[in-house]
Amino acid sequence: MTATGVTFPAADGRAMRAALAAPAESGKFPGVIVIHEIFGLNADIRRIASRIADLGYVALAPDLYDKPGPRPICIARTLLTLNRGSGAAFDDLDAARRFLQGQANVDSSRIGVIGFCMGGGIALLYAVLRWVPLRFSMATCRRIPGACMEYVRCLADTAEKIACSPHTASG
C-alpha cells in the first residue's frame, strides 16, 4: 500500500495536508494517527504510514507544520505545543482524529496514535491530556533508542484512565 496525499479540515477550518494509507482489502479497520518526527511529513513517515496499512490499519499522518509562515516558525510552534501540553498541534490532532473516524473504512471506536521522536512525546501527551477514546498510544525513537525508552509502552485504553503521567515522558 502506498500513502496518498489528502487534505482535511484543520482545527481552524483551513485545509491541512496529510498522508493517508489503508489496507487493500475492503472492510472496517482500526485507525492510527501517525505523528511525524521533527523533520515533518516526509517520505519516511509516508513509508511508515504505508507499513501500518499493510498491517491492517488505516493510517493518517497529518502535517503538523502545514501552517502559514516560515517552516522554522511552524516547527517552533509545534515544539511549544509539546512543551506546554496544549496548543494548535493538539487541536489539529483532534481534527485529524475526527477526519479519520469519518472514513468509511475506519472502525471509529478503534483509533490509536503513534509518534516518532518529537511525535512520540506529542502522541503520549495527546493520549494523556486530551482524554480521547484512544485504543493505544505508542511512542518510539528509532535513531536514539536509549533516550526514548521512557516513552515506550505507555498504552491508552478506552475502558480505563491512562496510568501514565506527563512526567513519564520526560527525558
Cα–Cα dist 54/32, whole Å: 12
Please answer whether residues 127 and 162 qualify as being in contact, where contact means their C-beta atoms are separated by less than 8 angstroms. yes
- Domain of 50: which CATH number? 3.40.50.1820
pLDDT at position 130:
73
pLDDT tens, 17-69? 999 999 999 999 999 999 999 999 999 999 999 999 999 999 999 999 999 88
- Residue 31's domain comprises 4-137
Q: How far apart are the first and last CA of the chain?
A: 35
pLDDT, residue 138, reads 54
The position carrying cell 475506519 is: 106
**Total number of domains in the chain:** 1
In sequence order, which residues have a C-beta less than 8 Å from that of residue 53 and are 6 or more positions away?
Answer: 1, 3, 21, 22, 23, 59
Q: Is residue 108 part of a domain?
A: yes
